[in-house]
């Protein structure tokens, strides 16, 4: 399927799913709208030698109240971090999203978001490559545990940790940290193709989750209504079984370029091979598949 046709196909997702697509079970972990600096500092505490958080209502990020993380990297430190004493039950959500303004990405190599429970820590990193407002999305299935046991039901602390790329000063402005379960899940196979899908959904303001083939194999797709496979040529047998379960339960699948034969059968599709000619029309008739 040609990439330029993604937009046309994505636009019918809500109709095809038979219901409004959005998110469910959203939990705002922190909206960072503290009334004073001292109120914010009572929750978020810096690592040794780090600067206290401050509140500000205007700046390079725009005219809105945000919490600022002032970052100063010297030769002696490889990261800064702030710990927030925040207790949440995040067991029912599948995605974590973080709205962040990056002042200057130059001094920052990457950012790690950590959660702590009585059994230990879990964390997930993301590269910091551009300035401005951005929305970082993390799948819970991609977090890596550090400790004997981590339990999302009893989160009691959160750590915000930007790691050093170079000595210098910059800041991060924070707007909202939240958890939710999206109705649309992009299953990343080939990242180049997944990026096109992400861009299209963002332009249409459709909430989505971003998970990996490994996450599907381990946790399945039960939290989603629609699963999009941009190009996933290396599905494991375990992942295919999870997708079959999802389809049998009424889940919708949008797959591009390749589909394992077992999945084609269960979806009522016939594999025809590559058709070199341009198609002028795709007509969707009443489904005859068993699920």
Please report, for the chain, the start and end positions of each structural domain, with discontinuous segments joined by +. Answer: 3-22+183-266, 25-180
Distance CA 174, CA 100 (A): 5
Residue given tokens 């959203």 in the structure block: 26
Residue given tokens 């381990």 in the structure block: 218
Of 3-12, 159-168, 247-256, minimum mean pLDDT range: 3-12
pLDDT at 291: 47
Q: Does domain 25-180 have CATH number 3.40.1180.10?
A: no
Band of residue 32 on the pLDDT scale cut at 50, 70, 90: very high
Q: Has this prediction a pTM greater than 0.75?
A: no
pLDDT at 20: 58
DSSP string over 136-150: EEEEGGG-EEEES--
What does each C-alpha distance from 58 to 39, 61, 66, 197, 235 come to in angstroms?
A: 19, 7, 8, 33, 47
**pLDDT tens digits, one per residue of 140-170:** 878 999 877 899 999 999 999 999 999 999 9
pLDDT at 88: 95
Mean pLDDT of the region 83-107: 93
What average pLDDT does the chain have? 85
Model confidence at 3: pLDDT above 70: no
Distance CA 274, CA 92 (A): 41
Is pLDDT larger for residue 53 or for residue 192? 53
Is pLDDT larger for residue 183 or for residue 88? 88
Joined tokens for residue 145:
């545990």
**pLDDT tens digits, one per residue of 185-227:** 888 776 677 778 877 777 776 777 777 888 788 778 877 889 9
Model confidence at 139: pLDDT above 50: yes
Mean pLDDT of the region 126-149: 88
pLDDT at 1: 43
Model confidence at 11: pLDDT above 70: no
pLDDT at 22: 64
Tell me if residue 22 falls in helix, strand or coil: coil
Buried b (16+ CB within 10 A) or exposed e, 223-250: bbbbbbbbbbeebeeebbebbbebbeee
Is pLDDT larger for residue 206 or for residue 42? 42
**Which is the CATH superfamily of the domain at 3-22+183-266?**
P-loop containing nucleotide triphosphate hydrolases (3.40.50.300)
Distance CA 87, CA 70 (A): 24
């Amino acid at each position: 399927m040609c990439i330029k046709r993604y937009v046309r196909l994505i636009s019918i997702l809500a109709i095809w799913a038979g219901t409004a697509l959005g998110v469910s079970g959203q939990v705002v972990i922190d909206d960072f709208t503290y009334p004073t600096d001292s109120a914010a500092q009572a929750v978020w505490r810096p690592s040794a030698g780090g600067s206290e958080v401050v509140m500000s209502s205007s700046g390079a990020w725009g005219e809105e109240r945000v919490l600022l993380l002032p970052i100063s990297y010297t030769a002696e430190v490889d990261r800064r971090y702030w710990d927030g004493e925040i207790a949440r039950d995040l067991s029912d959500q599948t995605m974590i999203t973080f709205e962040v303004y990056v002042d200057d990405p130059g001094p920052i190599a990457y950012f790690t978001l950590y959660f702590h429970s009585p059994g230990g820590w879990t964390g997930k990193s993301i590269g910091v490559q551009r300035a401005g407002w951005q929305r970082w999305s993390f799948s819970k299935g991609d977090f890596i545990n550090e400790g004997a046991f981590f339990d999302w039901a009893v989160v009691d602390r959160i750590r915000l940790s930007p790691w050093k790329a170079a000595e210098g000063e910059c800041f991060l402005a924070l707007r909202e940290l939240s958890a939710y379960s999206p109705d649309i899940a992009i299953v990343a196979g080939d990242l180049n193709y997944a990026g096109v899908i992400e861009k299209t959904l963002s332009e249409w303001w459709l909430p989505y989750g971003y998970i990996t083939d490994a996450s599907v194999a381990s946790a399945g797709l039960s939290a989603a209504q629609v699963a999009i496979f941009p190009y996933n040529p290396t599905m494991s047998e375990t992942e295919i079984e999870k997708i079959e379960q999802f389809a049998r339960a009424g889940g919708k699948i949008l797959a591009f370029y390749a589909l394992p034969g077992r999945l084609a059968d269960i979806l009522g599709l016939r594999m025809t091979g590559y058709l070199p000619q341009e198609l002028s029309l795709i007509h969707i008739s009443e489904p005859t598949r068993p699920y």
